Structure 1
């Protein structure tokens, strides 16, 4: 794993971006659902 730190960092960055966009999308489009669940 120490042989490919750059790939790991890039993958982590992409995962964070995708997760952030997904969360923002869900929060913006389904606020009512979140309020009902929580």
Structure 2
């Protein structure tokens, strides 16, 4: 599972994806405060 974690001023939002290509496309829509990671 691919996970995008978005850090905002006082919030943390997490989005889950099953496909890496889908996750990387979604990551481009976020600001600098986002991290893409993979977990089993």
Same fold (TM over 0.5): no
Q: Which has the higher contact order (CA 8 A, sep 6+)?
A: 2
Q: TM-score, normalised by structure 1?
A: 0.31
Larger helix proportion of the pair? 1
Q: TM-score, normalised by structure 2?
A: 0.30
Larger strand proportion of the pair? 2
* Bigger radius of gyration: 1
